[in-house]
Amino acid sequence: MIATLMDGKAIAAEVADDLQRQIAQLKSEQDLQPGLSVVLVGEDPASQVYVRNKSRLAEKIGLHSTQHNLPEDVHEDRLIQLLQTLNEDPTVHGILVQLPLPAHIDADKILRLINPEKDVDGFHPINVGLLNSGLTDQALIPCTPAGCVRLIKKQLGNTLSGLEAVVIGRSNIVGKPVAQLLLQENCTTTIVHSRTKNIEHHIGRADILVACLGRPRFVKGDWIKPGATIIDVGINRIDAPEKGPGKTRLVGDVDFDSAVFVAGAITPVPGGVGPMTIAMLMQNVVTAALRQSKLS
C-alpha cells in the first residue's frame, strides 16, 4: 500500500478561488475590500519569501495588501507607533507582523499590541483564550493549525469524532492550537513532546498524526499505525550530496520514504501544509473584514 498524497497546493487553490468569489461579491454589493497590512522588520531571506508569497496571493484574490518594511535596527517605539496607526485605520482589517523579529524587540509585547480583531495570525492572548474556550466562531484561528484541520477533513470527511489524534510538539504557534481544534472536533487528542517517554507507543495509536516538532525525519515508518492520516508540518533543510557538493533539500518531521508505505494519507514536504497556511491567512482577513463591518 502506498499512501495518498494530500496536495496542499490544490486544496489551497480551492480556498483561494472561493475567497476570490466572496471578495468580488463584497466589493460589488457592500463596497468593501478586505485589507491586509504586513510588517516586515529586517531582511531575513525566509521571511521575505513568505511575505512575497502572501502578497502575491492577496493580489490574485482581490485583497488590498500593503507592506511596511522597517530596518533591522528599528527602534521598538517606531514599530509600536506603526501598529497604533494600523489599528486605527478602518481600511486595514488584518495586521500581520512577520516573525521572527530582531532580538532587541520584544515579540510578545508587539503581538499583544495588535488589535485582536485584526490579529490574522491568531497569536493575541484574547484569540488564544477564545480558541481554548471553544469559541472558534469569535476567535481568529492560527493559520497553520486551521490549514492542518482543513487538510484532515478533506481526507477523512467533516466528522472526526472518536478518532485518536496525536500531535508531536507543543508550540504556541502550531502544537497547542491544532490540539485544541482536534479536541473540538471530538477527537481523543494527545500531545507528545521531547520529554515524553515511549513516544513511539503514543504515535502508534494515532489515526491522525500531526508532526510539528522541527526535527528532520524524526518519525519512522514503523512507528505509524497502518492507514493513519499524517500531517507533516516540519520544514527542515538537510544536506543533499546526491544533488551535488553543497546542495541541500527540504524534508519534514516524518521520514517520508518509510511512512509512505504505511500511512493511508500523508502531506508532502514541500507542497503540503505550507500553501494551506497562506490560504488560511487570507481566509482570516476576509473573516476579520466581515466581523468589523458587522456582516455575516
**Cβ neighbours of residue 168 closer than 8 Å, sequence gap 6 or more:** 175, 192, 193, 199, 203, 209, 210, 211, 212, 213, 218, 219, 253
Please, which residues bridge with residue 40 across strands? 69
Q: Is 232 one of the catalytic residues?
A: no
Q: Is 98 one of the catalytic residues?
A: yes
Sheet holding 94-97, edge to edge: 64-70, 35-41, 94-97
- The active-site residue, picked from 98, 155, 180, 283, is 98
How far apart, in Å, do the first and last CA atoms of the chain sit?
45
Amino acid at 2: I
Please answer whether residues 285 and 36 qualify as being in contact, where contact means their C-beta atoms are separated by less than 8 angstroms: yes
Read off the DSSP letter of residue 245: T
Please, which residues bridge with residue 265 across strands? 4, 229
Grid cell in block for residue 262: 504505511
Q: How distant is the alpha carbon of residue 70 from its chain centre? A: 24
**Cβ neighbours of residue 35 closer than 8 Å, sequence gap 6 or more:** 63, 64, 65, 66, 91, 92, 93, 94, 285, 289
H-assigned helices in the chain: 8-30, 45-61, 76-88, 107-113, 125-132, 143-156, 175-184, 199-203, 256-259, 273-292
- The active-site residue, picked from 118, 119, 121, 155, is 121
CA distance 122 to 282: 12
Helix H or strand E segment including 37: strand 35-41
- The active-site residue, picked from 54, 118, 176, 225, is 54
Please answer whether residues 122 and 155 qualify as being in contact, where contact means their C-beta atoms are separated by less than 8 angstroms: no
Q: Tell me the catalytic residues.
A: 54, 98, 121
